Structure 1
Amino acid sequence: MGSAGRAGAVALGAVLVAGGCTVQGTGPDGKGRAPVRIEVTTGAPSKNPSPRDRRSPAAPPAGTKAAPPPAGTKAARVLWERGDSGRDVRELQARLRQVEWLVDGPTGTYDDLTERAVSGFQGKRGLPRTGRADTVTWQRLLGMSHEPGKWELYLMGGQPAAAPDPRCTRGRVLCVSKSSRTLRWMVDGRTVSTMSVRFGSQYTPTREGVFEVYWKSRHHVSTLYDSAMPYAMFFSGGQAVHYSYDFAAHGYAGASHGCVNVRDEAAIADLYAQVKNGDKVVVYW
């Protein structure tokens, strides 16, 4: 719980050997777009209301009782509710994390956890506990939180993959984009799979350039840092693409010592089964 990205980068040695790499702290990066400011309206609806304008408040979750609005006023307009998805929902979740009503990183999907977080936030401030993010709830949340940066918005990954580097369009390639923090597995220009990844810190950066997989080690343990590196596919000295338990547990609130960390174990297990020694690795911005 609490504000994301409070861990600072830890200065550890920049020299990596075939023993591999492990985890260290890092800080937030990037900035998000300016938040959408919503005006609370109590007048008559427009003749052609948007889909959200047409929504009417539904009953509160079972076991809760929504207080009626004051006499003579209309219920606040619902902006997002369970089942919605998109960038705005991701920002809502990031702001709920800032005020410690949501633990999980933003996913962009308004699920049951988000609904409960909104309901708790509303109840604490004397608002109807509907679990739906309406204009009044959103304004209160805006006043208690700051604009989330890109790091906060994509704490748990989920960014769209960057366009492939031209060097990735031929042959069998692990195409790794630092700007979008994604890995594409490509065969003859076709993307077979995509997954979120993280990299080394400024003190132990992941090397950029064109490499090739020279060694695979399914149950590898780093001899340098005494940490597990499952599904390791080494491409440059001790730097490898591998599964990271820490990345899976803590998202981007950390960094490797130069390796390309993957958080989705099922995805990297499938990738490991397909990649062969000699396959190309391209790391680029």
Structure 2
Amino acid sequence: MRTTVRGGSLAALLALVAVSGCRAQVVDAHGTPTPARTTAGSTRAPDDAKEGTGSPAPGSASPEPEPDPAVSTTPPPRVLWSRGDRGRDVREIQARLRQAAWLFEGPTGTYDIATAAAVRGFQGKRGLARTGEVDAVTWRRLLSMTREPTRWELYAFGGQPATRPDPRCMTGRVMCVSKTSRTLRWMVDGRTVSVMEVRFGSQYTPTREGVFSVAFKSRHHVSTIYHTSMPYAMFFSGGQAVHYSADFAARGYAGASHGCVNVRDEAKVAALFAQVRTGDKVVVSW
């Protein structure tokens, strides 16, 4: 029921509302209704303007969307080395991976399939992204777990650069052997024809140093003392010879000879054997 009061007193109106329990609509002397007021005297807000409903007030800023915690905004670490890279730095990576027992080949100085697989294994074990690439985070972790490789760890399977030839190698036909760089240069009149990696005897069976000459050659020689094969043997000091070693080819510098100069590359020593003559000079030096 709607009750309309015209010209009555406010007290009469309030009394009427209290009795009837109905919503009162007040009209002025001209019959125009005026909004009902709350007990605090303010105009009651329409239902759709209550908090949490309706549109924001004009000119107010829209709330910023909450970030998705599943989406990372951190950029990936910078890649330092990856497949196809070559050089001394790659040798160090490979040597350190060998120290950590993740790589059993090389070092070769070439970032190949085996190196990438070793890096992935190393990364996965430590909760890093398994990219197979050495990024800044992977490199720091590898450094913290390993030590600086020695020169011969870097060249455990050869590839080391040859040192300058001994002055005694600069004339004639010479097999110029350097213990410092573990290389053999085949030189003719001061010109280097070929270079190959070699290894020597242990401290108990050392390779003798000095100037010698080739006494004789034996293509399919077998040691009468150790009963081991010595292909392409070129003897220069008693039972010591330059020859191919299958053990050197398989194990690298993990082993040693019984005093001979072992060559690991069979094709190179075969070519050398074909060129060297009896009487050619042999220089073994540090």
Q: Normalised by the shorter chain, which TM-score bucket?
A: 0.7 to 0.9
Which residue pairs with 1:87 in the alignment? 88
Which residue pairs with 1:218 in the alignment? 219
How far apart are the structure 1 equivalents of 2:208 and 2:164? 19
Structure 2: any 5+ residue segments left out of the alignment? 1-69
Per the alignment, in what secondary structure is the counterpart of residue 252 of structure 1? helix
How far apart are the structure 2 equivalents of 1:225 and 1:176? 24
> Which has the bigger relative contact order, CA under 8 A and spacing at least 6?
1
How far apart are the structure 2 equivalents of 1:70 and 1:231? 65
Identity over aligned residues, as a percent?
Answer: 75
> What do residues 52-87 of structure 1 show as CA deviations (whole Å, max 9, x unaligned)?
xxxxxxxxxxxxxxxxx9723111111111111111
* TM-score (normalised: structure 1): 0.75
How far apart are the structure 2 equivalents of 1:124 and 1:178? 40
Q: Does 1:229 align with 2:230?
A: yes
Which residue pairs with 1:264 in the alignment? 265
How far apart are the structure 1 equivalents of 2:184 and 2:171? 16
Q: Which segment is superposed worse, 105-114 or 178-187?
A: 105-114
Structure number with greater Rg is 2
**Matches for 1:55-204 after TM superposition, within 5 Å:** 71-204=72-205
How far apart are the structure 2 equivalents of 1:135 and 1:70? 22
Per the alignment, in what secondary structure is the counterpart of residue 210 of structure 1? strand
Q: CA RMSD in A?
A: 1.1
* TM-score (normalised: structure 2): 0.74
TM-superposed CA distance for 1:188, in Å, is 0.8
Letter in 1 for 2:240: Q
> What do residues 120-142 of structure 1 show as CA deviations (whole Å, max 9, x unaligned)?
11112111111110010011111
Q: Which has the higher helix share?
A: 2
Runs of 4+ with deviation above 6 angstroms:
none
How far apart are the structure 2 equivalents of 1:218 and 1:98? 38
> What do residues 88-124 of structure 1 show as CA deviations (whole Å, max 9, x unaligned)?
1100000111111111020111111111111111112
> What do residues 18-71 of structure 1 show as CA deviations (whole Å, max 9, x unaligned)?
xxxxxxxxxxxxxxxxxxxxxxxxxxxxxxxxxxxxxxxxxxxxxxxxxxx972
How far apart are the structure 1 equivalents of 2:74 and 2:89? 27
Relative to structure 1, the CA distance from residue 117 to residue 70 in structure 2 (aligned partners, 3 Å threshold; closer, same or farther) is: farther
How far apart are the structure 2 equivalents of 1:70 and 1:258? 64
Structure 1: any 5+ residue segments left out of the alignment? 1-68
TM-superposed CA distance for 1:201, in Å, is 1.0
TM-superposed CA distance for 1:202, in Å, is 1.3
The count of residues paired between Structure 1 and Structure 2 equals 217
